Structure 1
Amino acid sequence: MSNGPATSLARRRPSIDIVDAKVAVDLATAQTYSENVFLFVPNLIGYSRIILAALSLHYMSYHPKYCTVLYCISCLLDAFDGHAARALGQASKFGAVLDMVTDRCTTTSLLCYLTSAYPDHALFFQFLIALDFSSHYMHMNSSLVTGSKSHKQVDSDVSRLLRAYYNPTTLFIVCAGNELFYISLYLMKWVHTPLSESFGITGYFGTWTWPELMAAVSAPICLYKNIVNLVQLWKASKILVGVDLAERAKAREEEFMRGKKD
């Protein structure tokens, strides 16, 4: 009795399936300076992103210039840690998770502020927070259980949309545009001078402020990003259910084989 899905699942698993938690803690404690994952350059960049994001949050309620500059630098550094990891051979699971957690927490903190700045749209921002976290959490777990080396490696036969999205160039543009939209909404609460006064622009757009124009340009990118989040959530859910079904089929096969031996 053979089972195709269970066999395929086994083929996709890495050579080392499980590492004992105590062994992992001991290895991390005893790591040498030359091979200290905590001190890898990409992870140092990650720590600096956290500090900059924290400073940005500190200024968010009363100093929009400092807040925006610090927030943007923190987001832009996200483009460098991956390059550093590949160039220095310092890619790590810790770094990948640190990067994702920093992204999620930074964006969520800004969205939390927007819920207070736009109370009539608080439910919308809460939905975006829930979607962002659930989508990436499910996707990360589905990547782990299927033995993928990175959550950014998606086969085209799983999802052509996600494979295209995780192209480094596309990922940078979409993530930058998404953050730009949220930053624009934040700045709209502070900037009220129309373009006709600040830049001498006449006509229809002259009545807009520059954050409003920036929000209008980046809104389609934000929409696309959240469509990707929905697709990612659905695909990850299907992968996890598929793993459940394959493992249940494998358990039945093993039970059947034990019954034949008896």
Structure 2
Amino acid sequence: MSSNAPAVLTRRRPSIDIVDAKVAVDLATAQTYSENVFLFVPNLIGYSRIILAALSLHYMSYHPKYCTVLYCISCLLDAFDGHAARALGQSSKFGAVLDMVTDRCTTSCLLCYLTSAYPEWALAFQFLITLDFSSHYMHMYSSLITGSRSHKQVDSDVSRLLQMYYNPRTLFVVCAGNELFYIALYLLKWVHTPMSESLGMTGPLAEYTWPQLLAYVCGPICALKNFVNLVQLWKASKILVGVDLAERAKAREEELSKNQ
């Protein structure tokens, strides 16, 4: 264990290491217009997502159409900021954190509404909020502390499941399915007309409403997403414990070297 500790602890990040927070604040304050991270196109998309999400929350309790459209647009824009960052060379740690925080807060606000719409399932929704925040926070922190350029870069020797999950296409499908399931639960409180009446459908599915069918289709994807959250939380916990053990081993080695 002690022989591996220095390698783990001394691996350098590919970016500049800033130790003093005051230095970081000064750099951000003095940034030029041409290199202003706050004004990077992906981050501007992120700000628009926040505005759209806020508007959707405003309409959530009394106008389901406006709420759903605004919420879906906000979620869909999440697929564009990453492409813009790579195409324009404007990837940033601020943008990555902004994107993750926006996702977590937007979904949590919808789940908070669902706790009032389905009080009998309030504890389950509260658990999902807690799991989502804790899983992503610990995963991002463990990624930063081990020098990863992005929390979406996961080696197969750490977790094959997480590596597959963070594939851009897989990530889009799973996240979209997860959000659509929650949206379907929201719309179930507003849409009560079966498709036999609203769309003139016939057959065994005609007596269901379209939010019910959407919930049935996306429910398994939501279950998969939260299983991945559990795996992510566990893996991140193990990484942080491993770093703790490595740091303790290094501290013991340094103490021994001082006493010799």
Q: Which of the five TM-score ranges fits, normalised by the shorter chain?
A: over 0.9
What do residues 20-75 of structure 1 show as CA deviations (whole Å, max 9, x unaligned)? 10000001001000000000000000000000000000000000000000000000
Partner residue, 1:13 = 12
Work out the CA distance in 1 between the residues paired with 2:191 and 2:4: 57
Pairing 1:75–2:104 present: no
Partner residue, 2:249 = 249
Pairing 1:159–2:159 present: yes
Amino acid at match of 1:89: G
Identity of aligned residues (%): 81
Amino acid at match of 1:13: R
Normalised TM-score (structure 2)? 0.97
Partner-residue secondary structure (3-state), 1:52: helix
| Aligned 1:143-222 pairs, distance under 5 A | 143-222=143-222
Partner-residue secondary structure (3-state), 1:205: coil
Partner residue, 1:139 = 139
Work out the CA distance in 2 between the residues paired with 1:167 and 1:185: 27
Partner residue, 1:58 = 58
What do residues 51-108 of structure 1 show as CA deviations (whole Å, max 9, x unaligned)? 0000000000000000000000000000000000000000000000000000000000
Deviation at 1:188, TM superposition (A): 0.5
Work out the CA distance in 2 between the residues paired with 1:148 and 1:121: 37
Amino acid at match of 1:241: V
Structure 2, gaps ≥5 residues long: none
Q: Give yes or no for contact 1:13–1:146 (8 Å, CA) kept in 2.
A: no
Normalised TM-score (structure 1)? 0.96
Q: Give yes or no for contact 1:177–1:218 (8 Å, CA) kept in 2.
A: yes
Q: Give yes or no for contact 1:131–1:230 (8 Å, CA) kept in 2.
A: yes
Q: Give yes or no for contact 1:59–1:66 (8 Å, CA) kept in 2.
A: yes
Deviation at 1:198, TM superposition (A): 1.6
Work out the CA distance in 2 between the residues paired with 1:19 and 1:77: 34
Deviation at 1:11, TM superposition (A): 4.8
Report how many residues are paired.
259
Deviation at 1:195, TM superposition (A): 1.2
Deviation at 1:202, TM superposition (A): 2.6
Two-structure CA RMSD over aligned residues (Å): 1.2
Work out the CA distance in 2 between the residues paired with 1:200 and 1:5: 67
Pairing 1:103–2:103 present: yes
Structure 1, gaps ≥5 residues long: none
Q: Give yes or no for contact 2:156–2:163 (8 Å, CA) kept in 1.
A: yes
Partner-residue secondary structure (3-state), 1:141: helix
